[in-house]
Amino acid sequence: MAVHSRPQARCPARSGWTGLTLIGHKGRIIRIRSGWFAAGAASRQPARRPPAVSAVAVVLLPLLLACSAGGEQADTPEAPKPPAELRAAVDRSTATTGDLIRYEVEIERDPEVSIELPDPGVDIAGFRIVDLGREPAVTLASGRILERRWFQLRADLVGSYTLPALSAAYSDPGGDAGDLRTPEIPVEVESVLPADGTEVTDIRDIKPLRRVETAGQWLWWIGLAAALLAAALAAWWWRRRRRRGTGASGTPRIPPWDLAIRDLERLRSTDFSNLRELRRYHFAVSAVVRAYVEGRFGLNATDLTTEEILSRMGGLIRLDPNQARRLERFLLATDQVKFAAHLPRPEEIERTWEQAMGFVQATRPGDDDGEGRAMPDEASSELDRAGKAA
């Protein structure tokens, strides 16, 4: 801005002002009247101006100069930004051991530009990465896209560290490409102890051991009573499983051979024309015979497969070899229907029932064998479970 001072034209007949003309931005003319002259003065010397006029001129002149300069800056075009920018920063350059340092990496790019940036956390050395994350991309008012990644770092040792420089490559569909790089960031980690080596006074030693008063003697008696009660319950449960003969009410239970004969007679009324009932029948008749073997000979046949039963029949002293073969044929025949989807003919169904009944009749104890004592009542429940399983 040029400042020129020029007087007004001569006017000897009148009083007037001297003028201050400012030639500003783009030739704009700004005129401030700053003087007063008396009419008829030969030398045109300004007369003494009023104080208020001088104060106004002093205030307006800097403001007009600033406005003119601001107009020139506004008219200056802004330099174009590169297609992509890569920035890295930390929230603190000096920290103490244990402090968290936030390390942020920003990418600002045009929408059509793609950037390949390796994982910045791979090259971070000397710090533990406590947490990390990536914020959603944001579209700025200029249309550019801003992406931000952050890392929470912590240093456990005192010293000087340097976060390495980051490098990235960018490209756009037009074929333009380039490399981006950030400077290294130094970080100083200081100790929490005083630098002059003075003794720390806010750290106190641990307190001495304190004797904890125990509860009264009654806790020991409660523990002893609970242990005795648990032992009594365990003994009752064990005796109940091992018990043979009479039940809890003292009445004798039905022997397993009588239960087996009763259940086999009940199965004769099955509707064999219904395929579902036919399959359930073979599950049930097999369960009856297995429960009978378990109650009669003490072999847990209800929990064993057919192969396991056959391999252990040699140890049954009271089982005749002929009856063992009859039991084997029966078990194999029922397994074919249960697991191989075999559809038996009517004569095969009748033969299976006769094998089961014949085995029970042939192996039940006689009156003179001394084995007519009461046995566990398990065949009926096995029959019910077999019907549900089918």
Q: pLDDT tens digits, residue range 25-77?
A: 444 444 444 444 444 434 444 445 555 445 555 555 666 565 555 555 545 56
The two tokens of residue 348 are 């095969």
Output the pLDDT for position 324.
83
Output the pLDDT for position 197.
64
The two tokens of residue 44 are 């045109």
3 state DSSP class of 8 = coil
Residue for token digits 């420089």?
165
The Cα–Cα gap between 376 and 363 comes to: 17
The Cα–Cα gap between 325 and 338 comes to: 20
The Cα–Cα gap between 168 and 149 comes to: 14
13: which residues sit within 8 A by CB, 6+ positions away?
39, 40
- Under a CB-based contact definition with an 8 Å cutoff, are residues 88 and 103 in contact? yes
pTM: 0.35
Using CB atoms within 10 A of its CB, is residue 374 exposed (0-12), middle (13-18) or buried (19+)?
middle
Phi, psi of 50 (to 5 degrees): -65, 150
Output the pLDDT for position 296.
85
The Cα–Cα gap between 86 and 113 comes to: 13
Residue length of the chain: 390
Output the pLDDT for position 10.
42
Counting as low any pLDDT under 50, the low residues of the chain are: 1-47, 52-53, 74, 245-250, 368, 370-390
Phi, psi of 249 (to 5 degrees): -85, -10
Sign of the dihedral through C-alpha 231, 236, 241, 243: positive
Q: How, if at all, do strands 167-171 and 177-181 pair?
A: antiparallel
Output the pLDDT for position 139.
92
The Cα–Cα gap between 34 and 146 comes to: 54
